[in-house]
Structure 1
Amino acid sequence: MIPTIAALTGADEFFNHQIVNTFAAVASPERAWTEKAWFTLMRKDGSLQASFGLGKYANRNIVDGFAGVQIGTRQMTVRASRLLSSAPDEMGVGPLGYAVVKPLEAIRLTLAENSAVPLRFELTFHANMPGFFENRDVVIHDGRAASDVIRFHQAGTVSGWIEIEGERHEVNPDEWYGFRDRSWGVREHVGLDPADLAPVSGHGVSGGNKAGSAFHFNWLVSKIDRADGSSYDLAYYFRDFGGEGPPAYFSGYINESDGRQIPILHLYPEIDYRASDRGAMRGTVTAIIAGRGKSVEERVFEIEAINPEMGFRLLPGMYGEWKGQIHGSYKGEAFLDGETIEDVNNPAKLAETYRWQIRDRPVRITEGANSGYGDMESIILGDYPGVRIV
């Protein structure tokens, strides 16, 4: 062992090095450095939904992840964590498995029989669109890069099976759709903050507490089909305080199946959210893109929840603190737990924390005669332009 060189791993056999070290090390010493995969997979009729996430935290020596399903208003979630050094070349953790069948085309996700919940599955994501990047997400706060992340998302179909309490559900690609994303960089909400930090100034920090402010976070990915067989994707992500001027962060594109990304200059969502749980119900999204010369073009998309009761909650997947756990935190050399929540739409859950709003909401999306499916995530706080509480 040489003190200035990290451990040798199987990945070092391949000609992919980009820093003067092994693959056991990353270029940044930041503890929040993260590499992550996420999937949301849904039946087109809104009756069943699966979710999966995996994170690698090289500077924390941690791999963790979650997997689960929602059926009706019932959500079952499994969480697992381990030391990265226990198996540095493996991409799974506990009963959660992740395998690249064909890069950028097919990924296999598995949840083995486990002691946390009576749930297991084997699902393969098959891409039917290219992967599309979002704008780099950089937040500088009080002189520190609180976030510096790149992310791509991809639409696809799903095949395989899900077994819930011994009942097998076949997953037919014609009846399912889904999305995945991959991200890497310095990320918010990784481990607990040190206790000796100076007070946070203002609401604008990406990972700060947003209670007491007018705040809107909205993320949408989609796949929309034309009659000629081509497809495109309305994809945007913004977070903002107050609604005055441009958002604090915005990324928006209309992505074509031939790989083109058409930038959205300005976006205005007008969405109805259910009062009891802030679930997105229906509405329109107006996207303004550049035309010829000084002209601009408005494109209007209609959005509607496929099933108002569906939307896998991400807080039990550790997107935010849950049961004292958060992404990247040390939970022991090998950790496994989970639970079944019988009614995810119970208003009492939202009363506990505004972060309960974050869910993967299956939606239908149309633009004129073109139609397809999407996934929307959102947080609504206070009075914000375009937001209607119904």
Structure 2
Amino acid sequence: MAITPADDYLIHQTPYPIDRVATSDRNFYDRYFFNGYSPDGDIYFALAMGQYPNLGIADAAFSIVSDGRQRVVRASRRLGPDRMATTVGPIAVEILRPLHQLRVSVAPNPYGIQADLTFTARSLPVEEPHFFRLAGNVPVMDYTRMTQHGAWSGTITVDGRSYAVEATTWWGSRDHSWGIRPVGGRDPRGAPPQQPPQFFWNWAPLNFPDLCTLYTVSEHADGSRWHQSGAILTPYPHATITEADVAYHLTFQSGTRWLQTATITLTPPAGEPLQITFQPLYPFLMKGLGYGDPKWGHGMWVGEDVVDGTEYRLDTEEPLQNLHVQQVSRVRAGSRQGLGVFEIIVLGPHAPTGFRDLLDPAP
């Protein structure tokens, strides 16, 4: 344990310095996620950064899709004691004004991607209901997540080609989550799982000119829900949050577990339901941010101060080997038109959508 700059703030939650978290669980993490898209949806970018105090690792990745290619630069390092050091390799996150404005940047690197971007909140932050899930009697998820919609400004450069990002038209969202979920590879301790893997996950933050919405659903194989939340938000300067019940209807591309169409309904306690339809444009592969990557997965040790990059051709990626995607989508709610993502994982059986086995595809 060590005294670090964070200890100068009146934020302590335990009798220890900030570099020591309250639990010894190896899977404790603290993580940023950001995404953004051009007004026509043709360009999509995302950044993630995580700290894993009980593994001693920090990692980050920035990924951008354009012209059917998904480019990635990623980095990993030893965490060290200073939890406020939010730079990993060339990738950095800076809080300019908490809950209102943050800066993300990617310094020059061998993989041809640079960025200097400012996220300015369009909406109030939404504290989603607490996530808690057991595998048998073992907690595998126990965390909090905050989601917020925003506008982007700045520049992105890929192989010398620069994109001017303007806050009037480039929107996106971010989240910050912390707690316990599986990181750092499979924990070899304890009894093996009794049940085959199953995970049904939906998450959709959307931006419209005069509205922002959030939808999330997680269900067991029989369709019973272990987590759900919905929110309808009016943007600043008159920002409000209205919680909503959620429902969905999904169809899937033949031979895949990727969406063909989606309709979600947000029903507030008073007023009319808001029905939103999705036109998926293309998938963003979440492995580009470390989700499920066998080497660059979250909290995986790859060495001291390592920087790496890769590229995926979206038209050649196998959907059943890429279950975890964010499908960049045009969306419509009545006369409103907007943009956003529908993040989805359907692993194993799920009765409401007709999947019966580990990886059977849609007919």
With normalisation by structure 1, the TM-score equals 0.83
| Alignment-derived partner of residue 129 in structure 2 | 135
| Alignment-derived partner of residue 206 in structure 1 | none
Separation of aligned partners in 2, 1:82 and 1:42:
29
Alignment of 1:309-320 (within 5 A): 309=282, 311-320=283-292
Which of these residues, 62, 76, 90, is aligned with residue 57 of structure 2?
62
Post-superposition offset of 1:261: 4.1
Cα 1:72–1:280 change in 2 (3 A) is: farther
Which of these residues, 361, 368, 371, is aligned with residue 334 of structure 2?
368
Separation of aligned partners in 1, 2:181 and 2:35:
20
Aligned partners of 2:19 and 2:81 also within 8 Å: no
Cα 1:256–1:53 change in 2 (3 A) is: same
Post-superposition offset of 1:126: 1.2
Secondary structure of the structure 2 residue equivalent to 1:315: helix
The one-letter amino acid paired with 1:195 is: P
Cα 1:173–1:261 change in 2 (3 A) is: closer
Post-superposition offset of 1:242: 3.4
Separation of aligned partners in 1, 2:330 and 2:351:
24
Aligned partners of 1:270 and 1:387 also within 8 Å: no
Post-superposition offset of 1:383: 6.3
Aligned partners of 2:29 and 2:51 also within 8 Å: yes
Separation of aligned partners in 2, 1:119 and 1:191:
26
Alignment of 1:58-97 (within 5 A): 58-85=53-80, 88-97=83-92
Alignment of 1:148-163 (within 5 A): 148-163=142-157
Alignment of 1:163-202 (within 5 A): 163-188=157-182, 190-202=183-195
Which segments of 5 or more consecutive residues in structure 1 lack a partner in the other structure?
1-5, 204-208
Separation of aligned partners in 1, 2:279 and 2:242:
24
2:240 is the alignment partner of 1:217: no
**Deviation readout 1:173-222 (Å, 9 max, x if unpaired):** 2331111000111122x01123343121225xxxxx33xxxx63211112
Identity between Structure 1 and Structure 2 (%): 25
Post-superposition offset of 1:350: 2.5
Secondary structure of the structure 2 residue equivalent to 1:182: strand
Post-superposition offset of 1:283: 3.3
The one-letter amino acid paired with 1:83 is: R
Separation of aligned partners in 1, 2:43 and 2:346:
25
Secondary structure of the structure 2 residue equivalent to 1:268: strand
Cα 1:222–1:197 change in 2 (3 A) is: same
Which of these residues, 313, 337, 343, is aligned with residue 377 of structure 1?
343
| Alignment-derived partner of residue 14 in structure 2 | 19
Post-superposition offset of 1:110: 0.8
Separation of aligned partners in 2, 1:274 and 1:21:
51
Aligned partners of 1:48 and 1:70 also within 8 Å: yes
Post-superposition offset of 1:280: 2.9
Q: Which moved more, 1:86-95 or 1:70-79?
A: 86-95
Aligned residues: 354
Post-superposition offset of 1:108: 0.9
Secondary structure of the structure 1 residue equivalent to 2:262: strand
Secondary structure of the structure 1 residue equivalent to 2:345: strand
Secondary structure of the structure 1 residue equivalent to 2:319: helix
| Alignment-derived partner of residue 325 in structure 1 | 296
Cα 1:225–1:161 change in 2 (3 A) is: closer
Post-superposition offset of 1:276: 5.3
Aligned partners of 2:151 and 2:170 also within 8 Å: yes
Secondary structure of the structure 2 residue equivalent to 1:108: strand
Aligned partners of 1:282 and 1:303 also within 8 Å: yes
Separation of aligned partners in 2, 1:349 and 1:283:
21
Which of these residues, 311, 315, 322, is aligned with residue 340 of structure 1?
311
- Please report the RMSD computed on the Cα atoms of aligned residues, expressed in angstroms: 2.4
Separation of aligned partners in 2, 1:26 and 1:57:
10
Cα 1:243–1:345 change in 2 (3 A) is: farther
Separation of aligned partners in 2, 1:373 and 1:153:
16
Post-superposition offset of 1:78: 1.3
Cα 1:298–1:384 change in 2 (3 A) is: farther
Secondary structure of the structure 2 residue equivalent to 1:319: coil
| Alignment-derived partner of residue 359 in structure 2 | none
**Deviation readout 1:58-77 (Å, 9 max, x if unpaired):** 11111111111111210111
The one-letter amino acid paired with 1:239 is: S
Secondary structure of the structure 2 residue equivalent to 1:248: strand
Post-superposition offset of 1:260: 4.7
Aligned partners of 1:313 and 1:359 also within 8 Å: yes
The one-letter amino acid paired with 1:302 is: T
Post-superposition offset of 1:256: 4.2
Post-superposition offset of 1:387: 7.3
Alignment of 1:237-252 (within 5 A): 237-244=216-223, 246-252=224-230
Q: Which moved more, 1:83-92 or 1:19-28?
A: 83-92
Separation of aligned partners in 1, 2:19 and 2:278:
44
Cα 1:272–1:286 change in 2 (3 A) is: same
| Alignment-derived partner of residue 264 in structure 1 | 244
With normalisation by structure 2, the TM-score equals 0.89
2:98 is the alignment partner of 1:103: yes
Separation of aligned partners in 1, 2:127 and 2:176:
10
